[in-house]
Structure 1
Amino acid sequence: MAAFDASKREWFLEVPINPGTLEKRLALRGQHIADAMPKVEAGIITLAASILSKPTEDGDNKDMIKAIATVVAKTEEEARNILVDDVYTREGIWDSDKIQVYPLRTGIRTQK
């Protein structure tokens, strides 16, 4: 993980997943993960997950309604651009017009 940089802060991002994009999302998942991994290894992306419309019974991906992430960046714009530049946004899977970005201060964090 990268050394602490006081000029950067953590941001919480959420973006809706456009309906009807499951097949396309699954087809692009390998590229999406491969593109994200250097940012994970550099300590820029600190969490990536999905919000589901209901609990999944079989581990499938069909009930994802939003993607969420925490990222380390200097500015809100820099944080937002991590999602804007993602293949899921470029290919219309994420609704980039509805990205929400919030400054984040963690009180408690544990590993899963």
Structure 2
Amino acid sequence: MASVQAAKSAAAKTREWLVVIPDHAGVLARRIAIRPQHSPNFVNLHQEGYVSWAGPLFTKHIEASQTRPFKGSAMVLNDEDKKSILKRLSDDVYVKEQIWDLDNALITPFRTLRRRTVS
């Protein structure tokens, strides 16, 4: 019985996952409009420890005064498996409002070794 319990807890171990989610085509204006609803959710997930880091993907680097050309999002999540990640992300407004193309997301095992922010 102890070995069954050990196997269950090993299977349910939280691990890091790199998640890259493209935006659906033609959603830039809606993404910007919906962002105020999306951002607080990710702040909460970060505070819970579910999100290690997250940020937008762009089609190119821009100057601060330019409109940001979003094309998706990248994040490191702490979860047990892909199924659980998909379930949790499906509750986000970007999925519900068809901003993120969750069907074409890359969800892959990941391990942070070092991290340094760009100043």
The TM-score by the shorter chain falls in which range? 0.7 to 0.9
1:14 corresponds in structure 2 to 20
Cα offset, 1:110, TM superposition: 2.4
Which residue of 2 is the match for residue 103 of structure 1?
109
TM-score (normalizing by structure 1): 0.83
User: Which SS does the other structure have where 1:72 is aligned?
Assistant: strand
Amino acid aligned to 2:43:
M
Instruction: Give the alignment of 1:58-97 within 5 angstroms.
Output: 58-61=65-68, 63-97=69-103
5+ residue gaps in structure 2? 1-11
Q: CA deviation at 1:27?
A: 1.5
Unaligned runs of 5+ in 1: 1-5
Residues 7 and 59 of structure 1, relative CA distance in 2, 3 Å threshold = farther
Q: Secondary structure at the match of 1:109?
A: coil
Aligned residue pairs total 106
Flag the structure with larger Rg.
2
* CA apart distance, 1:104: 0.6
Give 3-state SS (helix, strand or coil) of 1:18's partner.
Answer: coil
The Cα shift of 1:84 comes to: 2.2
TM-score (norm 2): 0.79
Hey, which bits of structure 1, 4+ residues long, moved more than 4 A? Answer: none
